Amino acid sequence: MHSISRRLSLFFIACTIASILLVTLTVNLTVTNKFNQYMMDIQNKRYERIIAYFEDAYKKDGRLTENTGVELMHEAYMGNYCITLRDQHEQTIWGMDPKEIQNQLNMGTMPVQQKGVYTTKTFKLNEEDKVVGYVDIGQYSSVLLTEEDQNFKSSINKSIIASGLLTLLIITGLSLYFSKQFSSPIKEVAKLSVDLSKGNFNSKSVVKSNIHELEDLRKSVNILAGKLQFQDMLRQRLISDISHEIRTPLNVLQNNLEAMIDGVYPVTQEKLHYLNEEVIRFGRLINNLNVLKEFESESTKLSYEIIELEQLLLELCRDFHAPSEKKKLKIDLAIQPDKKFSITGDKDKIKQVFVNLLANAIKFTTAGGRILVQLYEKNDDITVEVVDTGIGINKEDLPFIFERLYRGDKSRQEIEGNGIGLTIVKNILQLHDASIEAESEEGIGSKFTICFPNIKKP
Ligand code: ADP
């Protein structure tokens, strides 16, 4: 198995080598073709120039002699080609020896493209549409190249190879850099998931990536780690809460029963009543856990009907009037006028939501406080607010109050409760596609806002 960075680097380098080879081949073929074409043109022009030279000489002298065009011999010799001049009867007037050219080529003073078979081309010399002679031009290669031509060609090839190697070098560096950009965050996230699987929930991935998908992955795994850490904390707290709840009544029972057995305490009606209270408290805890289980199971059945919220809240506020009076609290209901607030839902369960919220508001508000229930429409959603001027919830507890058996530190110490009221509220609202949010400030009060989406309206 390869690492992702190695695999990516190898892939980039292989792609680069393939493209360099392809480019080199294409450029080389194109340059060679174009260059040969260019040389052919030059060669044809040279032929035309030589023919024109002989024809001019004939025009001037009226005949072809041994001296006609001998000046061209030097140029021909230097250019590695042979000239032979023949009259109209094809008899040689003068000619160069191809062997001399071959010797010169063998000495390598003038490189040619191919040192091949000696070939000759014959051209007619015309004077007013009459053939007056022939000129043969022979050479050892199809195209004649001078040293400069050869140098030009090889310098192009060298530059192609050099630029290929340079590209390869740059691509290797870049591919190592970019593949590291991919692999580092992936490695980090992989390491983090291993940590999480080992139960180290406080690990975090800190290496940021500028690649969108990788950064999203890193963030979501960090969120996952946070959630797992949170769940772990809740689990530990739940265990300690449950064991505390179980231990207290058990201790009371055990101590009292032992004292009765030892004869320290008399077995009186009053004592037995007290012990029975503890057994009931114990049973209540088990019942609460059962209630939660019922709400959290997917099989919870809802019987839907149209609920008129204004009517329901009016009845509830009336019901809670007496308990709030008892605690010297004022309870008010404010309904947005000229509107109907009907939703479709399970009436008993929705009633349970408000009962739990109002019971909490009364429980956590001290004498002289106020509870306000508001019903209004906002952004086409039906909103219910339960606001109190109670003890409030501290910042540390606020994110957890909807969790199972979670009780704020204050209420754990001073106020009776079981920590399932708000969990049930949240579960019921979720079943109705509604949401709940809590805002609170310690010592000032709390506000619970429920939002029923408009689609639930009948
Ligand atoms: P319980 O009230 O039985 O403890 P809940 O699930 O109803 O359980 O509430 C969870 C916790 O949220 C409470 O223990 C308390 O700390 C906090 N809480 C809920 N409602 C209020 C409120 N109106 N004012 C202050 N604290 C509240």
CB-ligand 1 contact for 309 (6 Å cutoff): no
Question: pLDDT (tens digit, 9 = 90+) per residue, 176-216?
Answer: 888 888 888 888 888 999 998 998 888 888 888 888 888 89
Task: Tell me phi and psi for residue 338, to 5 degrees.
Answer: 55, 35
CB-based burial, 188-227: b 16+ in 10 Å, e otherwise: bbeebeebbeeeebebebeeebeeeebeebbeebbeebee
What is the rounded distance in angstroms from the CA atom of residue 222 to the CA atom of residue 203? 8
Name the residue among 384, 4, 437, 360 with its Cα closest to residue 187.
4
Percent pLDDT > 70 in the chain is 92
Percent pLDDT > 90 in the chain is 36
Global model pTM greater than 0.85 = no
Q: Which residues pair with 446 in a beta bridge?
A: 388, 440
Q: Is the pLDDT of residue 139 over 90?
A: no
The helix/strand/coil state of 419 is coil
CB-ligand 1 contact for 361 (6 Å cutoff): yes
CB-ligand 1 contact for 205 (6 Å cutoff): no
Q: How far is ligand 1, taken at its centre, from the CA of residue 346, in Å? A: 24
Question: pLDDT (tens digit, 9 = 90+) per residue, 257-305?
Answer: 999 999 888 889 988 998 888 888 788 778 877 777 777 665 667 889 9
Stated as kind and residue range, the H or E segment containing 148 is: helix 147-197
- The answer to whether 135 and 51 are in contact (CB under 8 A) is yes
CB-ligand 1 contact for 125 (6 Å cutoff): no
Structure tokens at 443: 């010592």
- The answer to whether 47 and 55 are in contact (CB under 8 A) is no
CB-ligand 1 contact for 389 (6 Å cutoff): no
Q: How far is ligand 1, taken at its centre, from the CA of residue 422, in Å? A: 7
DSSP state, residue 455: G
Question: pLDDT (tens digit, 9 = 90+) per residue, 349-358?
Answer: 999 999 999 9
Q: Is the pLDDT of residue 37 over 80?
A: yes
Ligand 1, atom 23, lies closest to the CA of 361
Handedness of CA 209, 210, 211, 213 (dihedral sign): positive
Structure tokens at 80: 């590695």
Q: What is the secondary structure of 233-259 as a DSSP string?
A: HHHHHHHHHHHHHHHHHHHHHHHHHHH
Name the residue among 168, 170, 165, 157 with its Cα closest to residue 27.
157
CB-ligand 1 contact for 360 (6 Å cutoff): yes
Question: pLDDT (tens digit, 9 = 90+) per residue, 7-22?
Answer: 888 888 888 889 888 9
CB-ligand 1 contact for 140 (6 Å cutoff): no
What is the rounded distance in angstroms from the CA atom of residue 390 to the CA atom of residue 298? 35
Strand-pair category, 370-378 with 330-335: parallel
Q: Hunting for tokens 């797992």 — which residue is that?
A: 228
Stated as kind and residue range, the H or E segment containing 227 is: helix 212-261
pLDDT of residue 239: 81
> Looking at residues 232-260, what average pLDDT do you find?
82
CA distances to 28, 29, 158, 167, 375 from 24, in Å:
6, 8, 11, 12, 78
- The answer to whether 189 and 218 are in contact (CB under 8 A) is yes
The helix/strand/coil state of 205 is coil
Q: What is the secondary structure of 128-145 as a DSSP string?
A: TTEEEEEEEEEESSSS--
Q: Is the pLDDT of residue 25 over 60?
A: yes
Q: How far is ligand 1, taken at its centre, from the CA of residue 383, in Å? A: 21
CB-ligand 1 contact for 432 (6 Å cutoff): no
Q: Hunting for tokens 């305490």 — which residue is that?
A: 265
> Which of 411, 412, 426, 441 is the best mutation target for the ligand 1 pocket, counting ligand atoms within 8 Å of the beta carbon and taking the most?
411
Name the residue among 375, 393, 383, 388 with its Cα closest to residue 441.
393
Structure tokens at 454: 């408009």
Average pLDDT of the chain is 85
